[in-house]
Amino acid sequence: MTDNVRRVMSKDGRSNVKIDNVEGMVKLFLHDIWTTVVDIKWRYKITLFASTFVMTWFVFGVIFYLIGLRNGDFHADPSSNHTPCVMNVDSLTGAYLFSLETQTTIGYGFRHISEECPLAILTLVVQLVITGLAEIFVTGAFLAKLARPKKRAGTIKFSRSAVVCKRGRSWCLMVRVANMRNSLLIQCQLSGKLLSTHVTQEGEKTLVHQSSVDFQLDSSGECPFLLLPLTFCHVLDERSPLKSLTADNLSKQDFELLVTLNGTMESTAATCQSRTSYVPQEILWGYEFKPVLSNMSGGKLAADFSFFDKMQACSELPNIHNNTEKLQLEEEYRRE
């Protein structure tokens, strides 16, 4: 139902904005080579990792081969007193193997460098310095990508739909969030951005206008840790950018609500961020989330995630106004 709706961000938090026609894009990416290498996909990173070793082995193998060729090592008379630059290397394959042994610190045994060739010694030192730096860079990029909290953010679950229900005397927009791991997320903060079209006083129309949407947990704006599935609320009062939202005009609205959860991982103290978005077709008026917590024996609590996306009519709303589209959407959620 919402496949053809324009979205700036997908439900799983990925950007739907295509960056195009940027002059010098490759140059910009190369200037920030570290971020480029960290961000590339794993298949390209593994290819880069393997090719870095293979190419440096080959390049310096060719250099050692040319040094031996210049020194006349491959055509020297065995009966003469000629000392090769690299002992027991008489072909390009041998030079490649010597370069491999040097870089991987396997040798030296059968093939080794002699003291009679300063150029070969200098090349050996340059190879160790350059390849050492290259290995540090590639290995660091691997570790940085593995340590990124992106996958941790994937274990934070948002409700597929948001609901609007009355709490006390105020209507509240509510979103449910859950941590799927036993490890805590501390210092959690949920924030929202409302993206909509806007016409300025000068008559200029902006396609995407951003307004802040504040969420709070129950009656407090603080969320010390995310252990249980929690419901965050945004009060539709006079300060809210959604103050004009009603059950009648909800389906006619054209906006996108971006919701972002920022938290700190207790185990590593690294920050992670998880995002999702809601369009009007994914906001149900007059509903609330079903409870997911229940008591267990031994004084424990159980969170049943089969009810995580389930809704029920607001307990404080005797007469629910709804339309056909909302009824169909709710029926889809029941079937799923």
**Domain at 88, CATH number:** 1.10.287.70
Residue 142 shares a structural domain with residue 159 = no
Is 279's pLDDT higher than 70?
Answer: yes
Residue 142 shares a structural domain with residue 176 = no
Please indicate, yes or no, if residue 79 is contained in any of the structural domains: yes
Range in 17-21, 62-66, 242-246, 287-291 with the lowest mean pLDDT: 17-21
Q: Give the torsion sign (CA, 16, 20, 23, 25).
A: positive
> Is residue 158 very low, low, confident or very high in pLDDT (cuts 50, 70, 90)?
very high
User: Who has greater pLDDT, 126 or 186?
Assistant: 126
Residue 181 shares a structural domain with residue 285 = yes
| Number of Cβ within a 10 Å radius of residue 24 | 9
Residue 173 shares a structural domain with residue 205 = yes
Residue 46 shares a structural domain with residue 127 = yes
Is 334's pLDDT higher than 50?
Answer: no
Cis check: omega of the bond before 108, within 30 degrees of 0: yes
pLDDT score recorded for residue 24? 75
pLDDT score recorded for residue 176? 92
Smallest Cα–Cα separation from 193: which of 113, 276, 272?
276
Residue 284 shares a structural domain with residue 163 = yes
> Is residue 38 very low, low, confident or very high in pLDDT (cuts 50, 70, 90)?
confident
Is 321's pLDDT higher than 50?
Answer: no
CB 211 within 8 A of CB 196: yes
pLDDT score recorded for residue 257? 93
> What is the share, in percent, of the chain residues with pLDDT greater than 90?
17
Mean pLDDT value across residues 50-76: 88
> What is the share, in percent, of the chain residues with pLDDT greater than 70?
86
User: Who has greater pLDDT, 63 or 27?
Assistant: 63
Mean pLDDT value across residues 251-272: 85
Residue 220 shares a structural domain with residue 322 = yes
pLDDT score recorded for residue 292? 86
Q: CA-CA-CA-CA torsion for 213, 217, 219, 223, nearest 10 degrees?
A: -110
User: Who has greater pLDDT, 234 or 336?
Assistant: 234
Tokens of 294: 């229940």
Is 213's pLDDT higher than 80?
Answer: yes
pLDDT score recorded for residue 173? 93
Is 335's pLDDT higher than 60?
Answer: no
pLDDT score recorded for residue 161? 92
Domain boundary among 131, 147, 163: 147
Please indicate, yes or no, if residue 2 is contained in any of the structural domains: no
Residue 181 shares a structural domain with residue 309 = yes
Average pLDDT over the chain reads: 81
pLDDT score recorded for residue 77? 67
CB 194 within 8 A of CB 140: no
Please indicate, yes or no, if residue 122 is contained in any of the structural domains: yes
Tell me which residue range forms the domain holding 38.
25-147
How many domains are there within the chain?
2
CB 191 within 8 A of CB 214: yes
Mean pLDDT value across residues 237-263: 89
Is 59's pLDDT higher than 90?
Answer: yes
How far, in Å, CA of 318 to CA of 310, rounded? 19
pLDDT score recorded for residue 316? 59
Mean pLDDT value across residues 315-328: 50
What does DSSP say about strands 283-285 and 162-167: parallel, antiparallel, or unpaired?
Answer: parallel
pLDDT score recorded for residue 325? 47
User: Who has greater pLDDT, 219 or 274?
Assistant: 274
Q: How does DSSP classify residue 82?
A: -
Residue 143 shares a structural domain with residue 198 = no
Mean pLDDT value across residues 246-266: 88
Residue 172 shares a structural domain with residue 132 = no
* Element holding 224 (H helix, E strand): strand 223-226
pLDDT digits (tens, 9 = 90+) for 188-206: 888 899 998 877 767 677 7
Give the domain CATH number at 268. 2.60.40.1400
